[in-house]
């Protein structure tokens, strides 16, 4: 931050549904990452050049009372907030406007978080957006700056504790997949498989799915964000399962494809092993110094060779392809990797900066052939280390022999 600056971070709202219903609360990951506070109506203010030491880090929280305690459970006390965050100065939210008048009178620059994620689409106004607009209205003559570039860099590299938590999320996810391998059989339903996952996740103290589960059998596997999960699984079909557990707010993100009847057909196996070869080679490319944009081009070249061998593309089509939309995109239309952490599509740098140790990426190539009813994606979570990588989700079967053996014994 520039001298004489402060930064403000807000919690998420509790979002309404209908009547008096609400969605479960999901904390904004920036204030959570910075402070550890997982509570609605919270504000974090960082003011390193404040005149008083006690004003350099401030937390504002809702003051609990007997009514809140009865209906919702007690909120954090000031002492508990300090124990969670390490921040000594904690105010009640009712004091926010008064304290901010004093701080803003000493400040020239104000860093605000605007949602700059490349994939973000926010048709509703968030608490962050609403309160940022109010602040600018009250204090129009301050210099307003962006926090996102700092957080993209900082959050991209995981601490040792974050990595340990992500390993637990991966272990819980593996347990769910192992349960499903024993359960999957012809004529079961996609939603029944979803139920097997949530049972195993919650039993292991996960809060559930890190994202809406994708469980698509047959042609549903060719719909990238298929969410209905309501079709019966037919013998002879493949099922694509894109599921990850959340643990302590951190996400796991895994995809596997299994034959519903426990045995791949020759064609299914041929396509599956093509995807698996691309995934294995792509994982080897994830290492310190690699650049995401170049990495995706390399993966595209790997996939192109496989698609030619599968007789899905011709060399002529490749030679005459549009460079902005290469020929392989007909059958592999999504990216191979994204950052992973508190968010499934986590913060990180997409500006040509090299990969560094401590970053975690997914690796998820796929081939989708709607005319054949085959959709295959294989995805693992990869931690970049100083000497290469660690596959956090390697315990989840993905070799054809492993899958068929597990389903046979199940």
Q: Which residues are catalytic?
A: 20, 225, 242, 253, 334, 338, 345, 364, 368, 377, 379
8-state DSSP, 22: B
The whole-angstrom separation of Cα 75 and Cα 67 is 11
Long-range contacts at 120-124 (CB < 8 A, ≥ 24 apart): 124/15
Beta strands 89-92 and 57-61, pairing class: parallel
Instruction: Give the alpha-carbon dihedral of 284, 290, 296, 297, to 10 degrees.
Output: -100
The whole-angstrom separation of Cα 277 and Cα 302 is 9
In which element (H, E) is residue 377 found? strand 374-377
Which residue, chain included where needed, has tokens 């490749």? Answer: 318
CB 366 within 8 A of CB 376: yes
CB 377 within 8 A of CB 274: no
Could you tell me where the beta strands, DSSP code E, fall in 182-317? 208-209, 214-217, 238-243, 245-247, 250-251, 254-259
Tokens of 186: 């012809």
Could you tell me where the beta strands, DSSP code E, fall in 208-317? 208-209, 214-217, 238-243, 245-247, 250-251, 254-259
């Amino acid at each position: 931050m520039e001298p004489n600056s402060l930064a403000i971070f807000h919690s998420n709202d509790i979002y309404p549904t209908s009547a008096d219903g609400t969605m479960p609360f999901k904390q904004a990951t920036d204030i959570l990452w910075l402070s550890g506070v997982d509570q609605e109506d919270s504000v974090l203010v960082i003011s390193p050049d404040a005149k008083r030491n006690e004003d350099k880090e401030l937390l504002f929280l809702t003051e609990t009372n007997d009514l809140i305690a009865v209906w919702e459970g007690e909120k954090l006390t000031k002492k508990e907030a300090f124990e969670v965050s390490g921040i000594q100065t904690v105010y009640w939210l009712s004091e926010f406007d008064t304290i901010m008048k004093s701080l803003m009178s000493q400040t020239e620059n104000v860093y605000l978080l605007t949602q700059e994620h490349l994939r973000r689409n926010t048709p509703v106004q968030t608490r962050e957006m609403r309160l940022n607009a109010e602040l600018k209205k009250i204090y129009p003559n301050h210099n307003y700056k962006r926090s996102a570039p700092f957080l993209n860099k900082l959050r991209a590299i995981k601490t040792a504790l974050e990595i340990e938590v992500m390993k637990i999320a991966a272990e819980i996810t593996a347990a769910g997949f192992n349960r499903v391998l024993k359960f999957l059989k012809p004529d079961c339903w996609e939603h029944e498989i979803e139920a097997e996952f949530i049972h195993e996740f919650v039993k292991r103290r996960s809060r559930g799915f890190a994202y809406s589960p994708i469980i698509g059998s047959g042609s549903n596997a060719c719909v990238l964000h298929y969410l209905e999960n309501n079709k019966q699984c037919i013998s002879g079909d493949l099922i694509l399962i894109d599921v990850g557990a959340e643990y302590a707010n951190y996400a796991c993100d895994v995809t596997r494809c299994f034959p519903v009847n426990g045995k791949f057909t020759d064609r299914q196996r041929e396509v599956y092993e093509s995807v698996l070869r691309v995934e294995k080679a792509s994982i080897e490319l994830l290492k310190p110094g690699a650049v995401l944009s170049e990495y995706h081009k390399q993966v595209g070249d790997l996939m192109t060779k496989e698609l030619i061998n599968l007789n899905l593309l011709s060399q002529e089509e490749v030679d005459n392809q549009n460079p902005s939309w290469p020929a392989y995109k007909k059958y592999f239309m999504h990216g191979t990797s994204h950052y992973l952490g508190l968010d499934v599509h986590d913060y990180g740098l997409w500006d040509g900066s090299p990969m560094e140790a401590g970053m975690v990426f997914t690796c998820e190539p796929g081939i989708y052939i709607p005319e054949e009813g085959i959709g295959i994606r294989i995805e693992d979570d990869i931690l970049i280390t100083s000497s290469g990588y660690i596959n956090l989700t390697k315990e989840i079967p993905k070799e054809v022999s492993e899958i068929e053996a597990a389903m046979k014994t199940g």
